[in-house]
Amino acid sequence: MKIRGAVLERIAAPVPFAESAPITVCDLELGEPGPGELLVRIEAAGLCHSDLSVVDGNRVRPVPMLLGHEAAGRVEAVGPGDCDIAVGQRVVMTFLPRCGECAGCASAGRTPCVPGSAANNAGELLGGGRRLRRDGEEVHHHLGVSAFATYAVVDRRSVVPVDDDVPPAVAAVLGCAVLTGGGALLNSSKPGPGDRIMVVGLGGVGMAALLVAVSLGGAEVIAVDTVAEKLALAKELGATSAYTPAEVAEQGVVAEVVVEAAGNIRAFETAVAATAPGGNTVTVGLPAPDARASISPLALVAQGRSIVGSYLGSAVPSRDIPEYVRMWRAGRLPVERLVSAHVGLDEINQAMDELAAGNALRQVIVFD
């Protein structure tokens, strides 16, 4: 079938992307879903730094590639064989499918699925191969989803069903921002009673972590960012206090649990330095592969501190997304506040500029 989607043609094009236009919105051919696969009509897709990291070259992926990994949509068709998802079901798409059989899947979310990671790196679906073609040539899938398009074929293990009362934009953001930010707390650090929680970097993932921190109730929640507007929004969303990184250092602000969600070295070093004795630094940001930080091993040992890496919030999507939906229904997790703008598919290059400049939380592409 013919679809329309946003294809990254080349990596590390000069900024602004609105001028260099590394992403082309074009027509493509989408193959039929195979066994264990679904055809999904995309309803909403969020723009995330994991998309930007491919565009700017921090995460090298094969091109041409149809981007987009955080999305929600309706199942339009099911591939041959038995399937527990029916046509018409709304699904959240997740960018790390789990085969359920490898050592990574046996870790309860602590480490990624081995076949899922291999398929993502190759630009393929978990079941193998690609379903996208343009002018007779294959186009790579982005993280098994390729959601910046009108339709997608995905592996069943790349989606989690949700009920119709969950709006598309909310459902989309659950699939990456909330899984990653919320999981940094609920899966990777598990704050105890009275623990102060600090979030460094208030993009979509960081603000999601802040929302989950506030939902825990009773904890002091500290927001850290360089952008005044984001600090003000954090206070609106329930943060106890808000600081710039310089203010954190000058005033000696510390917390028992510190989540770093900015994906740059300055933020990581700020987070480590602001971790109280006996506390945990959880890092979910994705800096450039050659980035290096400076920390004191002695301080870790002498003060009993830990640094934990958390990919996708150490999540098991089928386990965690239903819990976030319950929190959202109960009014404890106002995920819709993460959506800072709605954009059209044809505005994708300009939207990447907004993301790169740090001006946006979650821009969401809404499809008719």
What is the rounded average pLDDT of the residues 314-326? 97
**Both tokens assigned to 173:** 């953001």
Confidence of residue 142 (pLDDT cuts 50, 70, 90): very high
Mean model confidence pLDDT for the chain: 96
Q: Which pair of tokens denotes residue 100? A: 């359920």
pLDDT at 105: 96
* 3-class secondary structure per residue, 292-310: CCCCCHHHHHHHCCEEEEC
- pLDDT at residue 143 in the model: 97
Q: Rounded to whole angstroms, how far apart are CA atoms 83 and 156?
A: 8
Q: Which domains does the chain show, CATH number per domain?
A: 2-178+314-366 (3.90.180.10), 189-309 (3.40.50.720)
Summarised one tens digit per residue, pLDDT across range 280-313 is: 999 999 898 899 999 999 999 999 999 999 999 9
Chain-centroid distance, C-alpha 243: 24
The alpha-carbon radius of gyration of the chain (Å, integer) is 20
What is the torsional sign of CA 58, 60, 63, 67? negative
Burial (Cβ within 10 Å: 0-12, 13-18, ≥19) of residue 347: middle
pLDDT of residue 331: 97
Q: Which residues pair with 27 in a beta bridge?
A: 4
Strand partners, 366: 44
Helix (H/G/I), strand (E/B), else coil: 206: helix
10 Å Cβ neighbour count for 229?
Answer: 11
User: pTM surpassing 0.85?
Assistant: yes
Q: How confident is the model over 185-228, as pLDDT tens digits?
A: 999 998 999 999 999 999 999 999 999 999 999 889 999 999 99
Report the alpha-carbon angle 308-309-312, nearest 5.
Answer: 130
- Above 80 in pLDDT, residue 368? no
Q: Hey, how many other C-beta atoms are within 10 angstroms of the C-beta on 143?
A: 29
How many other C-beta atoms are found inside a 10 Å radius of the C-beta of residue 36?
Answer: 17
What local confidence, expressed as pLDDT, does residue 219 receive?
Answer: 87
Closest C-alpha to 143, from 120, 126, 174, 124: 120
Q: How far apart (Å, rounded) are the C-alpha atoms in residues 242 and 255?
A: 13
Give the pLDDT of residue 56. 95
Q: pLDDT at position 28, please? A: 98
